[in-house]
Amino acid sequence: MYEKLTETYQSELSHSGVDGSRLANRLHELSQIGCTDEGGSYRISFSKEEQQAKDLVKKWMEEAGLKVSQDGAGNVIGRLEGTSSSAVIMSGSHVDSVPNGGHFDGPLGVLSALEVAQAWKDTGYKPEKSYEVVVFTDEEGARFESGLTGSQAMTGAFNESKKKTLTDSDGRSFEDILAENGLSFATIKEAKRDFSSIEAFVEVHIEQGKRLEKENLPVGVVQGIAGPSWVDIRFKGAAGHAGNTPMDDRQDALIATGRFIAEVEKLPPKISPSAVATVGKLHVKPNGINVIPGEVQLTVDIRDIHEDTRDQLREEVFSKAKQIASERHLEVEVKEIMSTPPVKVNDTMQQKAARAMKDTLHTEPYFLPSGAGHDAMVIGEKTEIAMLFTRSKDGISHNPAEWSSLNDCVQTVHVLKKLLEDLCSPS
């Protein structure tokens, strides 16, 4: 990975203490932990691989002059004391992955935050406010299908009763896995932080989309993080013999579902430019070759960075399902099964990030939404946040082919460094 990262690197991008070769080497070393036969990353939460990656980052934190600790949720924190203020600015991400995932989702945010600290040490810069580099535990949630554990623990949003019901693919409980890692629900409670002195959190992440690639830009400023609303829809018709039931005498639930899916695709652009809706899961009953489908259950994932338009889109989805069911003489049941509020990045933080981009890259800033969830959306419930996206090749993520060029990564670090220096200075 190191050779591929550095073969097209523009060495003039290494300046002001930021070292592209060092960043490439660290990305490479992390990529070797849990590397799969397909060249991907396998560091699921609470695994020895996740902890091995954390331990490696701890070593680098110490080299950067940070005071290192690990809290009761397994979050790793490297702290640089400010010279004249008790306020804290945080930056970081995660090092866990989905099974056979990529090498940039999470690690780039951690190593970018760390590279800023290392650059400050190498150039003798001392921030007035304290600076913390954070590695959050279990962001992806791949093991228990319930992520963001570390950031939820830090903010006090951890739902113990829900976590107690979870088991992994081997049938082991969340509580048992915690114990294997020297953790418990009691230690997780101890990880809760007092956010009164934490002024801001900044997260760097790969875009996981194609907007920056289409704009030919290495970095973008995130406007907000979309909150998902998951809805369950069941079309109920009548199963029948595929050969003996005339076409004009059927109550085919799958035909209605097909029409519905086609209509769902048309709805988001009518409501909000940042809204999306996806049908990603279907269950067909009886699911036989020669049986007319009598019932179909499906889920729709609806997202937007604005809660009002997200909820408006949800109601339009419900309305369309009811309309199609009525036209085809079917029953339909609709209900929301999960809803997470979107998190808006306030205008001041967006403009500070935009100014950092303009000052370092000498280009007009580009603003874009985040459709995926991040630790920043949890931390954003307690303090101001900002996010920077790094261009993703072909928009690919959660896949061994996930890639961001070293040129783009280093330019992102420069923008992050400028933004953090702004935030770490007196208001």
Cα 302 to Cα 314: distance, rounded to the nearest angstrom: 7
What's the CATH number where 233 sits?
A: 3.30.70.360
Q: pLDDT > 90: what percent of the chain?
A: 90
Query: Tokens 């990305």 — which residue?
Result: 27
Looking at the structure, tell me whether residues 367 and 409 fall in a common domain.
yes
Residue type, 345: V
Closest CA to 284 of 261, 314, 252, 331: 252
Looking at the structure, tell me whether residues 219 and 232 fall in a common domain.
no
Q: Is the pLDDT of residue 363 over 90?
A: yes
Among left, alpha and beta (phi > 0; psi -120 to 50; other), residue 79 is beta
**pLDDT at site 169:** 87
Tallying the residues shown for the chain, one arrives at: 427
More confident residue, 340 or 12: 12
Q: Is the pLDDT of residue 310 over 90?
A: yes
Query: Sorting pLDDT into bands at 50, 70 and 90, what band is 373?
Result: confident
Looking at the structure, tell me whether residues 245 and 321 fall in a common domain.
yes
**pLDDT at site 227:** 87
**pLDDT at site 286:** 96
**pLDDT at site 34:** 95
Is 379 within 8 Å of 139 (Cβ atoms)?
Answer: no
Query: Tokens 């979309």 — which residue?
Result: 226
Task: Tell which of 339, 368, 387 closes a domain.
Answer: 339
Q: Is the pLDDT of residue 345 over 90?
A: yes
Task: Tell which of 289, 313, 339 closes a domain.
Answer: 339
Q: Is the pLDDT of residue 427 over 80?
A: no
- Mean pLDDT, to the nearest integer, of 366-388? 93
Lookup: tokens for 347: 């205008």
b/e map 223-243, b = 16+ CB within 10 Å: bbbbbbbbbebbbbbbbbeee
pTM: 0.87
**pLDDT at site 85:** 81
Looking at the structure, tell me whether residues 124 and 18 fall in a common domain.
yes
- Mean pLDDT, to the nearest integer, of 348-357? 97
Task: Tell which of 304, 339, 374 closes a domain.
Answer: 339
Domain count, the chain: 2
Looking at the structure, tell me whether residues 57 and 147 fall in a common domain.
yes
Would you list which residues are annotated within the binding site? 94, 105, 140, 205, 398
Cα 406 to Cα 4: distance, rounded to the nearest angstrom: 9
Query: Tokens 């408006």 — which residue?
Result: 312
Looking at the structure, tell me whether residues 221 and 204 fall in a common domain.
yes
Show the domain range for 265.
227-339
Looking at the structure, tell me whether residues 241 and 153 fall in a common domain.
no
98-135 pLDDT, tens digit per residue, is 999 999 999 999 999 999 999 999 999 999 999 999 99
**pLDDT at site 371:** 83
12-39 pLDDT, tens digit per residue, is 999 999 999 999 999 999 999 999 999 9
Would you list which residues are annotated within the binding site for Zn(2+)? 94, 105, 140, 205, 398
125-158 pLDDT, tens digit per residue, is 999 999 999 999 999 988 888 889 999 999 999 9
- Mean pLDDT, to the nearest integer, of 57-69? 98
1-17 pLDDT, tens digit per residue, is 999 999 999 999 999 99
69-102 pLDDT, tens digit per residue, is 999 999 999 999 999 888 999 999 999 999 999 9
Looking at the structure, tell me whether residues 143 and 35 fall in a common domain.
yes
**pLDDT at site 402:** 96
Kindly report the average pLDDT of the chain as a whole number: 95
Looking at the structure, tell me whether residues 196 and 256 fall in a common domain.
no
Query: Sorting pLDDT into bands at 50, 70 and 90, what band is 338?
Result: confident
Q: Is the pLDDT of residue 405 over 80?
A: yes
**pLDDT at site 418:** 98
What's the CATH number where 185 sits?
A: 3.40.630.10
Whether the link from the prior residue into 286 is cis, omega within 30° of 0, is: yes
Strands (E), 19-80: 67-70, 76-80
